[in-house]
Amino acid sequence: MRLPHKLFIAGIAGATTVLSFAPFYAWPLTLIVLVVLFSLWSGATTPRQAAAIGFSWGLGLFLAGVSWLYVSLHVYGNMPALLAGVAVFVFCCYLALYPALAGWLQARLKVPPLVRFLLLMPAAFTGAEYLRGWVVSGFPWLIAGYSQTPSELAIAPLAGYAPVVGVFGISGLLALTAGAIVVASPKLSGTVLPVARRRALFITTAIVWLGGIVLGAYQWSAVSGKALSVSLIQGNIAQHLKWREDQRAATIETYLELVEQSHGRLIVLPETALPMMLHDVPSHVLAAFRKKAIDNEGDLLLGIAYVDKNAPAQAGYDYYNGAVSLGRSPGQRYAKQHLVAFGEFVPPMFSWVYQWLTIPLSGFTPGSASQPAMQLAGHRVGVNVCYEDTFGAEIAGPLPGAELLVNISNMAWYGRSLAADQHLQFSQMRALETSRWMLRSTNTGLTAAIDEKGRVVKSLPQFARGVLEVDVIPRQGTTPYIRWRDAPVLLLLAAALLFSVIRHHRRTI
């Protein structure tokens, strides 16, 4: 097969991968696509050709999966259409460099077929995904392991490994399975294995997948108290109206009405619910929020930007995107610690980008990485803001102390796209990894309650105004992932790559 044909197939396979994520949840597609990618890599004649195949696969995945960034840049950020399109394409090209690196590495090292398909390829692919989630503040979107979260249609067997090895560990198991399928098929790998070895590969792979089902039935945490009534508010304030001065009063009135309708002991409002700094909120609004929370015998969590005038900064004060509590418990604050590059801050070398963007409240300061869980409505709650819940190791920070997790978001930036559904799926994975309920309060959706098994128990329709009333179960306990986070997976990846390097040098001496 000629290289252009391989690149075309790789690009189509990458784009098809999007169907394995929310809202489609066609999880077997991820395995099929990885089989295609690995078989194309096995047929590459040079490391450069393998890198090109990986790049084409990644470009297809990200152009199909994160093209919604165009909406935030052009429609709401006011960047010219052509420039926004170019910016998204360049960003997708950058993301595609990671699978390209994986392709180059697995082709560069000369190792036996079993080592290549069962160690080197899975380790290179998974390691590249981890790097993508870490370099330049990270963009861990559409990691292969996310495709294994449960849905109403089916339960993905590998989801059971989430409390043990997290999303990157599941990616590694998917890649390992794909490698086993390819090396066991002479037509895909060009390698003919003895029947006994192929049988052993089949049995081992079956054990891995059956192990996921067994682990999925295990309870990693225990109930720590009676059910807590929670009200999750979805204001549905259109992004193009959210920050307009003439709409401020209407927005405040909307949230006052929704809070008044709420029955939960814990009331949660979305990220930057009120379009102003905390010190600019009218006192009667905060008083009304506090009174309602006290009347409900609990607390209210308000997503809002605030300034810390006591914290010295290089120029002026420190501004935070976060949340504050009002109600029976002492007042508490959370400051978002993992900010979005080009949304909430711009790296100094890219400051010129601002001349084309109009993004309100974009000069934020990151909060501390060691913020404890909040004490709300008699329970310990781990709070995170929007994009933060794509980082599993960081979400595990306030655990095992936290009994519940709460995410507040504003996905209105991305319009009617796949972004909100994909983000909901990432929250499902965080619930699985921590064996805790994850509660999501969003501006336009998807507002939802997710149980400790990653199942969406209840949700509001997108682009609808309302209050989601749900009884949630606080839980306690420590999963292996909470204790070790990504360290075991990283050690295994390093060991696999090191073993491959050693075998490469032995063959080339």
Query: Per-residue pLDDT tens for 305-339?
Result: 999 766 554 455 688 999 999 999 999 999 999 88
- Measured CA to CA, the distance from residue 141 to residue 418 in angstroms comes to 12
Stated as kind and residue range, the H or E segment containing 483 is helix 480-484
Higher pLDDT, 287 or 508: 287
**3-class DSSP state of 501:** helix
Supply the mean pLDDT for the chain: 92
The pLDDT of residue 343: 62
Q: Which two tokens stand for residue 491?
A: 């050690």
Each residue of 232-253: pLDDT tens digit?
Answer: 999 999 988 888 899 999 999 9
**271 carries an active-site annotation:** yes
- Measured CA to CA, the distance from residue 396 to residue 49 in angstroms comes to 39
Each residue of 404-448: pLDDT tens digit?
Answer: 999 999 998 888 899 999 999 999 999 999 999 999 999 998 999
Answer whether 102's CB lies under 8 Å from 54's CB.
Answer: yes
Answer whether 44's CB lies under 8 Å from 103's CB.
Answer: yes
* Arithmetic mean of pLDDT, 353-366: 64
* Arithmetic mean of pLDDT, 26-30: 95
Residue 119 has pLDDT above 50, yes or no: yes
- Measured CA to CA, the distance from residue 407 to residue 427 in angstroms comes to 8
User: How confident is residue 346, by pLDDT bands cut at 50, 70 and 90?
Assistant: low
Q: Smallest Cα–Cα separation from 174: which of 73, 31, 273, 280?
A: 31
Residue 361 has pLDDT above 70, yes or no: no
Question: E strands, 386-492, where?
Answer: 404-409, 437-442, 448-450, 456-459, 466-472, 475-476
- Measured CA to CA, the distance from residue 428 to residue 434 in angstroms comes to 10
User: How confident is residue 349, by pLDDT bands cut at 50, 70 and 90?
Assistant: very low
Answer whether 387's CB lies under 8 Å from 415's CB.
Answer: no
Which one from 6, 242, 271, 452 is the annotated catalytic residue?
A: 271
Higher pLDDT, 363 or 421: 421
Which one from 6, 242, 292, 336 is the annotated catalytic residue?
A: 336
Higher pLDDT, 1 or 169: 169
Region class of 226: left (phi > 0), else alpha (psi between -120 and 50), else beta? beta
* Arithmetic mean of pLDDT, 287-314: 87
Percent of the chain with pLDDT over 90: 81
- Partners of 233 in the beta sheet? 467
* Arithmetic mean of pLDDT, 280-290: 97
User: How confident is residue 120, by pLDDT bands cut at 50, 70 and 90?
Assistant: very high
Q: Which two tokens stand for residue 362?
A: 């974009």
User: How confident is residue 154, by pLDDT bands cut at 50, 70 and 90?
Assistant: confident
Higher pLDDT, 227 or 314: 227
- Measured CA to CA, the distance from residue 365 to residue 420 in angstroms comes to 25
**93 carries an active-site annotation:** no
**3-class DSSP state of 303:** strand
**336 carries an active-site annotation:** yes
Model's pTM, two decimal places? Answer: 0.94
Q: What angle do CA 74, 75, 80 make, to 5 degrees?
A: 30
* Arithmetic mean of pLDDT, 107-114: 95
* Alpha-carbon 492 to chain mean position: 22
Q: Smallest Cα–Cα separation from 169: which of 143, 151, 193?
A: 143
Each residue of 196-207: pLDDT tens digit?
Answer: 999 999 999 999
Residue 352 has pLDDT above 60, yes or no: no
Which one from 6, 292, 386, 403 is the annotated catalytic residue?
A: 386
126 Cβ neighbours under 8 A, 6+ residues apart = 168, 171, 172, 175, 489, 493
Residue 131 has pLDDT above 60, yes or no: yes
Question: E strands, 218-288, where?
Answer: 222-223, 228-234, 266-268
Percent of the chain with pLDDT over 70: 94
User: Long-range contacts of range 28-31, CB-CB < 8 Å, 24 or more positions apart?
Assistant: 29/147, 30/144, 30/147, 30/148, 30/174, 31/174, 31/177, 31/178, 31/181
Q: What angle do CA 71, 73, 74 make, to 5 degrees?
A: 70
Q: How far apart, in Å, are the Cα atoms of 123 and each of 37, 102, 212, 438?
A: 14, 9, 20, 30
Residue 42 has pLDDT above 80, yes or no: yes
* Alpha-carbon 55 to chain mean position: 22
Residue 351 has pLDDT above 60, yes or no: no
The pLDDT of residue 79: 86
CB-hemisphere CA count at 13 Å for 258? 29
